Amino acid sequence: MYAHIAPSYNALHGAEQERKIRILLSLCSQEFSTILDVGCATAHLATFFSDKKYVGLDPCKELLAYVPKQIQTICASGEHIPFMDASYDAVLSLTALHNYSDPLQGVRELFRVSKKLVFIGVLRKSAYHDSILAEIQLCAKSICRRTDIHDTLLFCHKL
C-alpha cells in the first residue's frame, strides 16, 4: 500500500516520524549498540542511529529501493522476522504494526528478536490500537508511554 508513494515517502512522512522518534529516544537512558527497525520504509530513521549497527526490515521492495546503499536492509515481513531470538539490543517499529495482516504476531516478533529494549509507535486511529497495546503489556516488563498527535509511543523493557 506504500509502493506508490515510495519516491515521495520521506517528503510526505519524514518530519512527522522524526518527531516521534525523538520523543521515544528521550525516554531511553540505556546504552545499546544494535537496532533493528521493523517496517523501516526508506530507512530514513537510520540517521538517528549513526553510532550504532542499524538494520532496516520492510516487506515493500519499492520503499527499500530508496534506502541509501550503505544501510543494511532486509525485505521480509514483520510477522516472521528472519533473525534468532534476542538478536538485537533494541528493536524499533514506528507506525507500522497496524498495517500487518497479523499485528499481534508482529508485536510478539518485536519482543522475540530484542535482547532488552523495544521502541513502538502505534497509530491511535487504528482499529487494532487497543489490542496491540494489550499484547505489548503481555510482552513487556516495563513501559513508558507518551501520547503523540497520531501515535501512542511506548518505550519498553522486554520481560
Ligand X SMILES: C[S@@+](CC[C@H](N)C(=O)[O-])C[C@H]1O[C@@H](n2cnc3c(N)ncnc32)[C@H](O)[C@@H]1O
Q: How many CB atoms lie within 10 A of CB 157?
A: 15
SS3 track for 95-142: CCHHHCCCHHHHHHHHHHHEEEEEEEEEECCCCCHHHHHHHHHHHEEE
The distance of closest approach from Cβ of residue 141 to ligand X in the complex, given in angstroms and rounded to an integer, is 24
Q: For the CB of residue 148, give the shortest distance to ligand X in the complex, in Å.
A: 12
- Residues lying near ligand X in the complex (CB under 6 A): 2, 13, 17, 38-41, 45, 58-60, 63, 77-79, 94-96, 99-100
Q: How far is the CB of 32 from ligand X (least distance, A)?
A: 18
Looking up cell 502505534 gives 122
- Cβ proximity to ligand X: between 58 and 135 the closer is 58
CB count in 10 Å sphere of residue 11:
9
- Residue 21 CA to residue 153 CA, distance in Å, equals 9
Q: Is the Cβ of residue 105 or residue 141 nearer to ligand X in the bound state? A: 105
Closest residue to ligand X in the complex (CB) = 78
**Minimal distance in Å, beta carbon 94 to ligand X?**
4
